[in-house]
Amino acid sequence: MSKLVNAVGGERRWWAVMPTLPAPAMAGIGQQMEQAGFEGCFSLQIYGPPFVPMAATAALTENLKVGTGVAIAGTRSPVETAYAAMDVDRISNGRFVLGLGSSIKSCVTGMYGEPERKLLSHLRESVKVIRYVIANAHKDLDPIAGEYFSADFEEMMLTAPPVREEIPIWIAALQEKMTALALEVGDGLMVHALWSAAYTKSRLPFINDTLAKYGRKREDIEINAWPWIAVNDDKQKAIDDSRATVAAYSGYKEYEPFFEAIGFGDQARACQLSLGEHGDIAKVIGNVSDEMVEAFVTCGPVDEVLEKIEPFWDVVDSLCPMTPYRDLTMEQLTDYNAGLFKLVATTRARAGLVSEPA
């Protein structure tokens, strides 16, 4: 049997999403992740800042890396983001990855109430400021006058040296311009859950060309994909359970160009919900066909899922599989998460790292 490797010839690495729960439950999940062989876990920013659950997870685990997946750059000052990153890196003793994203205007301005910005240029500036603060807050900070952020730092007290002056920054991307930005300035590229295995593989020439454009090698950056996966021996049930998640994401007007480019523009437009109704997926779920679900969510038994996601490994260093989540009960979410653990255990067993799960 040939050795199973990632895109750069290393061991295939797995991350997971950590739910925000009471501390004993998070401790149990984190320790299970360590035992199952996950490299790390992420906390999502749905509403609140994702640093809090990652700090708790870091305190409850020993080796598991912790990351924000993602922290929305536009919801806080880059100085606060830098200090939050340093805090979690200290708590975790150097196990933290700062995942940053721009989100979309309807979220940043309409939900968080932040001013309208050019999201890509704002994220670029945020990365620059965050790196500068992390590297220099314990030394001295010169004034910054940027397009979106300006500060004189006159009241800034010197802080204790950080655990690391360079904390990895991974940038989340869906469309081409943000992907290019991540490849230019990021330590990692986190590809959106809408990137299927086939679509991800189709982007490999663009990834390689963009890295070359900026004088970077493939080994200079981590590429981490977030595929939606619904492990279920009843494949049709997995498809049906995933339909609401696909409907929700296709309902965002900002994502329409992406769906158009891959042949689902009409279906996406049919799913776009009027302002204030985004939570009512039932109104549009009927516009999502089985074919559309399977274009974005890998559904079925473990062996079938593994075969379908194999092309990811031609492009990525690591995978962070996610379950569909919209309109599912806690019992369903628990079952699908258990499926992800079984998936990872199976792959590690076939790599000769652990025993095959029952």
State how far the alpha carbon of 207 is from the alpha carbons of 7, 70, 120, 261, 272, in Å: 12, 21, 18, 18, 30
Query: How far is Cα 251 from Cα 183, in angstroms, rounded to an integer?
Result: 28
Q: Report, in angstroms and rounded to the nearest whole number, the Rg of the chain calculated over CA atoms.
A: 20
The pLDDT score that the predictor gives to residue 354 is: 61
The pLDDT score that the predictor gives to residue 2 is: 58
Question: Which residues, given as ranges, of the chain have pLDDT below 50?
Answer: 1, 275
State how far the alpha carbon of 304 is from the alpha carbons of 47, 93, 298, in Å: 34, 39, 9
**pLDDT tens column, 205-263:** 999 999 999 999 999 999 999 999 999 999 999 999 999 999 999 988 888 999 999 99
**pLDDT tens column, 76-110:** 999 999 999 999 999 999 999 999 999 878 778 88
Terminal-to-terminal C-alpha distance of the chain: 21
